[in-house]
Chain A
């Protein structure tokens, strides 16, 4: 068993980064995630593991530092909250275009604009549909507990390196600020130069020895035919990720007539809503997507043949519902798809969700 502690989600993100052998963190303060960098600075991992932690001059700089650092074949990451992630959009697109592995954490707050500092899930589209310019996808993980905040740091790096693709942890201010019991992983050493050479020697820019050709990291291609071929290869990669890496959790869905679909903080709320609904005799289950890209289409298609309807519960104006509708449509099912959510930094209550469920599906 690993070390057990009571910690804030944001602190755990920093601690997990050190313990998974991350090489470099670059970030800029923004509420509600500033504790990530504060924890790292307090822990001073450069003394222990050699991990570099640097406060950048902006999120634009942070993501480009991550781009450079990731180019060395090492584990690089940044964290921010919604407005900062918007600033990073160009850099994230470059990282995806150059196929570099890295970790980006978005501890979301309400928007648009400067919005609120309270929790939100309104960056769903930005995270799963691309966010920056061009046809690309991030691997998006949505933790629903402080424990998952811990576990997904290592998982995100593993997936990022497996597919040479940026990965994102999409969480929110509630999970970032919430304290829970967490079992921390044991300290892993950072990769040695030899290990990096084995993992990424054919692409990382570490200085060209005479034994290999120069490595060039770029997203630029002047020949449209070559660029299109590259785009096609990217799409194949994203399909493979969909096939191999879709993760979700099903709670009481076996006999469910109606299914709540929710991730992260909303999923925590919906767990309680399922209990309340069940106590009322309503056959309700919960599908919790753990990966948002890849989205668990296949399981929704399956459920769409058994269930009468889905309720997408979101802390946004109804973004994920579009993906649910698409899956239900593709399944050729008549299941109804509805939305309930709160915005602006407000977390729905379990009771509100049950009310919405009853109103929308059970009639009054």
Chain B
């Protein structure tokens, strides 16, 4: 049998989402951003949401997310994506609006916006990429940087006496009655990526069902910022990041219920 006889639609076992653009991604090898983009593109396509979706790109390495997924996008100022998403979603309540943010964006400069959007129960999906560092600006300390972790602004490691503690913002968000589904996932293995996809799908469905804010943290790698190979990053993430930020659902309820777990 010749190769051309094999390449047929009925033999297809895996294809790139139609919504993923033919652009070369600027992400470093081993970076989690690209995998999460792929999952989002697949879900928006599979759930037939292209016409309904507006994505908010952050300031951070994912600022160019709008180059990679074929949907309408608005690019927000650093940390303000939840406010931008609020403006869009309030004026077009039947659309699917999501914000996509890094840990500096969401848990440092944009803490007020994320807390209040979640507290109002804005009908949006939040994707929170927690890689424990500021990737885009060259690897400075993030609020989520682990104790002792070396970054460009903590050259001898994060000292909690000086810099405070790594912030588990997702745990705070899970306490807000405005949120319905709050989960922490990862994409560093095929199995975890598949699980993450199932979680994001559920989160999207919640938004479509107008259940309030759904929040998906993805514990992520930043191989460049961490100064590790992609393989070493995955290992380090599993042993250190996930140890501090354990994976799993933090809250699964309906809007208005205040579930204090984890």
Contact = CB atoms under 8 A, between A and B. Distances in A.
A319 interface: no
Interface string A1-36: 000000000000000000000011010000000000
A54 B76 contact: no
Interface residues of B, number: 32
Contact of B86 (A68, A208, A219): A68
Interface stretch (B31-39, B48-56, B209-217, B232-240): B48-56
Interface footprint category on A:
35 or more
A58 interface: yes
Given A57-B113, A64-B80, A72-B92, A205 B86 contact: no
B51 A64 contact: no
A64 B114 CA distance: 13
A64 B70 contact: no
A26 B85 CA distance: 13
A304 B178 CA distance: 62
B105 to A, nearest CB: 13
Contacts, number: 129
A206 B75 contact: no
A66 B84 CA distance: 7
A103 to B, nearest CB: 14
Contacts of B159: none
A67 B95 contact: no
A98 B112 CA distance: 24
B51 A207 contact: yes
A333 B49 CA distance: 64
Interface in B33-85: 50-54, 56-57, 63, 66, 70-77, 80, 83-85
A91 interface: yes
A334 interface: no
Contact of A215 (B72, B88, B90): B72
A66 B95 CA distance: 17
Interface in A173-199: none
Contact of B70 (A24, A62, A214, A217): A214
B86 A54 contact: yes
Given A205-B73, A214-B70, 14 more contacts: A54-B90, A57-B116, A61-B86, A67-B77, A70-B87, A76-B87, A98-B75, A207-B50, A207-B71, A207-B72, A208-B71, A209-B51, A214-B66, A214-B71
Interface of A: 23-24, 26, 52, 54, 56-58, 60-62, 64-72, 74, 76, 90-91, 94, 98, 205-210, 214-220
Q: Report the 9 A-B pairs with minimum CB-CB distance, sorted nearest first.
A: A68-B87, A68-B84, A69-B87, A64-B83, A218-B75, A65-B87, A205-B72, A64-B80, A57-B116
